[in-house]
A = this chain, B = another copy of it.
Amino acid sequence: MPAITPRTLSGFMELLPAPQQQMERFMQVLRETYSLYGFTPLDTPLIESAEILLAKGGGETEKQIYRFTKGDADLALRFDLTVPLAKYVALHAGELSFPFRRYQIGKVYRGERAQRGRFREFYQADIDIIGDGKLDVSNEAEIPAVIYATFTRLGLERFQIRVNNRKVLNGFYAMQGLSERSGDIMRTVDKLDKIGPEKVRDLLIDDAALTNEQADEIMKFIAIQGSNAEVLAALEGYAGRNELFDMGLEELKTVTKYLAAFGVPETNFAVDLTIARGLDYYTGTVYETFMLDHPEIGSICSGGRYDNLAEYYTDRQLPGVGISIGVTRLFYVLQEQGMLNEGLNTAPAEVLILPMTEDLTAAVQAATFFRGCEIRTQLYTEQKKFKAKMGYADKLGIPFAAFLGEDEAAQNKISLKNMQTGEQQLLSLTDAANVILEDMRVRNNGKLIKS
């Protein structure tokens, strides 16, 4: 009797082999796309001193963090990739070149209440550009290009990057004499999608204690919609009354100006004055990204501009801009929605070699040849009935089976069976490799997400 019932902790994603292959593709697209935009990969420890991770403090974080001691050390698991980045840049600033552009894809930990689709261990995939003292606004203009390229390369088509600017918002609130209540207002406005404009207006009056006139001004402001040009034109109507607002409007115009040059179609991008981002540290452009057919999922890629990355660790002023994709949750949603492209090969190999003779030499040579052609190849050498062997290839979805009996070995050939069409050919190893390589090209030509 085994002593222990095997189990995986709830809230921890553990995929079966086929979906894991899809997840690997997801990661590979992220790595490639981020690299293409000049971000360098980084890998930092999952464990940090608790003092480092909790420097900023704050309620939710402290409650959710995995914290423990080892010997005298007070340790914790990272809950995001931003705090470790702040530590890294503060610690290694002298050895880095600024602007410092890094990507990091790694697991983070939050001991949330477990519920369907929520994870306690999940991958984040972040990019950030960190300046030393200054950072030009054109970096903020480049971020939508990275978001667009990432989701397009993944295969997603119907998504929209929504952009706003915190200076525009804060400047606007200042014009209304509401600077001190801007936090409350933004949190209320953030509920717009969920509760609708009327209830937002009620909350602004009841909870945020605005006058009817102030609430109307805000409702009018967030109702500004249309093409990017139209929204910017409407914003011009507020210009000249507040310096911060004017600065934010200039930034928003810069971000919008270069979109076409960055290859981002207008359909995938919108200036949206209702976007605020909850986090206090954003100071300029803010980004959210929505799947047009699944708005209920919320933003799948968010971030923004901040003025001081690492104030808890260094006196150096380190402004930056960054975005984050919650990979595990997004992958879960794509799976749930049936949006992953099943046409892509999720088998462990392209070809399964089945020796039909006791001596395996010819089969091993064939495997070595295929591998030399960069074809993922598995040798099947278990003593099973033929049907069981074919069932193995079938169940795993291996595209080809290659038989090697005495006849084939004598001719230095193999019998290659296409498992999907059932077609079987006697071929030289070179010809067989070409058939498999061509099939790979066609089969894996598609993108991860079905369009």
Seen from chain A, the residues whose Cβ lies within 8 Å of a Cβ on chain B are 1-9, 12-17, 20-21, 23-24, 31, 35-49, 51-52, 55, 66-71, 73, 75, 86-88, 90-92, 95-97, 99, 101-102, 107, 109, 111, 121, 131, 134-136, 138-139, 141-142, 145, 149, 257-258, 261-263, 310-315, 347-349, 360-361, 364-365, 367-368, 371-372, 374-383, 392, 395-396
Contact = CB atoms under 8 A, between A and B. Distances in A.
Nearest to A36: B371
Q: 5 tightest CB-CB pairs across the interface, nearest first?
A: A38-B378, A68-B68, A261-B364, A40-B348, A6-B313
A394 to B, nearest CB: 10
A16 B92 contact: yes
Contact of A258 (B5, B257, B364): B364
Nearest to A364: B261
A46 B122 CA distance: 11
Count of identical protomers in the assembly: 2
A372 B139 CA distance: 19
A266 B420 CA distance: 40
Given A377-B36, A379-B142, A261 B55 contact: no
Nearest to A146: B371
A51 B4 contact: yes
B17 A313 contact: no
Given A87-B6, A138-B360, A36 B374 contact: yes
A414 to B, nearest CB: 14
Contacts of A375: 36
Contact of A45 (B8, B68, B111, B310): B8
Contact of A43 (B23, B40, B42, B102): B23
A382 to B, nearest CB: 5
A114 to B, nearest CB: 10
Given A37-B376, A262-B368, 11 more contacts: A2-B90, A2-B313, A2-B314, A6-B88, A7-B87, A9-B75, A20-B40, A67-B68, A68-B68, A97-B396, A261-B361
A16 B395 CA distance: 44
Nearest to A315: B2
Contacts of A96: 16-17
A145 B4 CA distance: 36
A377 to B, nearest CB: 6
A45 B136 contact: no
Given A45-B12, A52-B7, A383-B136, A368 B261 contact: yes
A353 B158 CA distance: 31
Contacts of A73: 9
Contacts of A12: 45, 47
Given A45-B14, A138-B360, A348-B101, A37 B371 contact: yes
Given A101-B378, A315-B2, A24 B41 contact: yes
Contacts of A21: 40-41
B111 A70 contact: yes
